[in-house]
Amino acid sequence: MATPAARLRTDVALPEQRGGAVGLKRMLGSDYRLGFIFVSPMVVLVLALVAYPFCYAIYLSMTQKFVGMPPVFVGLENYIRLASDGFFQRAVVNSFVFTFASVVGKLGLGMLMALVLTSQIRFRSLFTGLLLIPWVAPTVVSALNFLWIYDGSLGVLNYLLVKVFRILPQGVGWLSEPGTAMASVIFVNIWRGFPFFGISFLAGMKSIPAEMYEAASVDGANVLQRFRHVTLPGIRNILIIVILLSTIWTFNDFAIVYILTKGGPGGATQVLPVFAYEMAFGAQRLGEAIAVALYMLPGLAFVIILLARYMRRGQAR
């Protein structure tokens, strides 16, 4: 496998190597000593903070565990009980609605943002910077801002719609009415996430050579045709990566729903991460709460593996 260059590097790095060392190197790789030293903190960290908790989670999900008490093994009982639990079923449906609508919304606004920022406008980098702010600002702050904007009696949204534009006869309890709560929460998630879509698409569009557009124009393609046949194929990989990444993040978003509604009113915005939190720290049923989280696992694992393949391909380029 070793190319001449790699062999040269090995010889240069350690001129004093002897027979035994050569054998070890053939087995463990030419830079194994420094390599092992350099990755060991990371390996310890991943084992302690991700791998171990993950395995422990699988075990705990098969127990009945209350805070401060030893777990009692119950097999798949938690999973079976959850499957017929109406609140859980509702949270599953809500999670899918929340994720799907959010991702579609972010895709649309993100594309709009990227197209605006690639057209002939002045102060482009200033506007790019401003449009990215929701993505950098703390999620909790944004959620609190919208909690205040949506406020039923003193909120500015009702003020605008009722007093200024006179679209509505009276104020709406955006977050307290089942009919509007989900849409209101989804809007905040879109608001926070679309700049990431926009900036990623923008980077992708910048890497498309201008000649491609010129050639398409010469062939008589109009704006829409150029978008359809030059822009979209050009950012295809980024499009897939961003959608998958955002699907993971949105499905697991906790802060926005927790702060705005805590899953209410009456479970109308209950999503799985908040449901798991309330089961663990409200009802103190840790085993079942982890089972809630782990129900997401097969789907999540599928998306992660798919995404990892695309991202590695992106980095290799």
Partner 1 sequence: MSKSAIERLQTGIAYGFLSILLLLVLFPFYWMTITSFKNEDQMRSLVSMFWPSPAVLENYYQLLTKTDFTIWFRNSAVVAVSSTLLATAIGTIGAYALARLRFLGRAFLSSTVLITYLVPPAILFIPLYAQIRTLGLSDSLAGLIATYPSFTVPFVTWLLMGYFESIPVELEEAAMIDGATRFRAFRVIILPLAAPGLLAAGLYAFTQAWNEFLYALVFITDVKQRTLPVGISGFITGDVYGWGYLMAGAVLTTLPVILVYIYLQKYMVEGLTAGGVKG
In the complex, what is the shortest distance from the CB of residue 207 to partner 1, in angstroms, rounded to a whole number?
10
Report the alpha-carbon distance of residue 33 to residue 10 in Å, rounded: 12
Which C-beta is closer to partner 1: that of 115 or that of 212? 115
In the complex, what is the shortest distance from the CB of residue 29 to partner 1, in angstroms, rounded to a whole number?
4
Report the alpha-carbon distance of residue 209 to residue 138 in Å, rounded: 36
Which C-beta is closer to partner 1: that of 208 or that of 300? 300
User: Residue 25, class by beta-carbon neighbours within 10 Å (0-12 exposed, 13-18 middle, 19+ buried)?
Assistant: middle
In the complex, what is the shortest distance from the CB of residue 19 to partner 1, in angstroms, rounded to a whole number?
19
Which C-beta is closer to partner 1: that of 163 or that of 228? 163
In the complex, what is the shortest distance from the CB of residue 266 to partner 1, in angstroms, rounded to a whole number?
19
List the structure tokens of 277: 């939190």
List the structure tokens of 82: 């959850």
Which C-beta is closer to partner 1: that of 84 or that of 120? 120
Query: Which H or E run contains 64?
Result: strand 63-64
Report the alpha-carbon distance of residue 195 to residue 111 in Å, rounded: 9
In the complex, what is the shortest distance from the CB of residue 86 to partner 1, in angstroms, rounded to a whole number?
22
3-state secondary structure of 63: strand
* 275 phi/psi in degrees, rounded to 5: -60, -45
Cα end-to-end span (Å), the chain: 21
Which C-beta is closer to partner 1: that of 180 or that of 217? 217
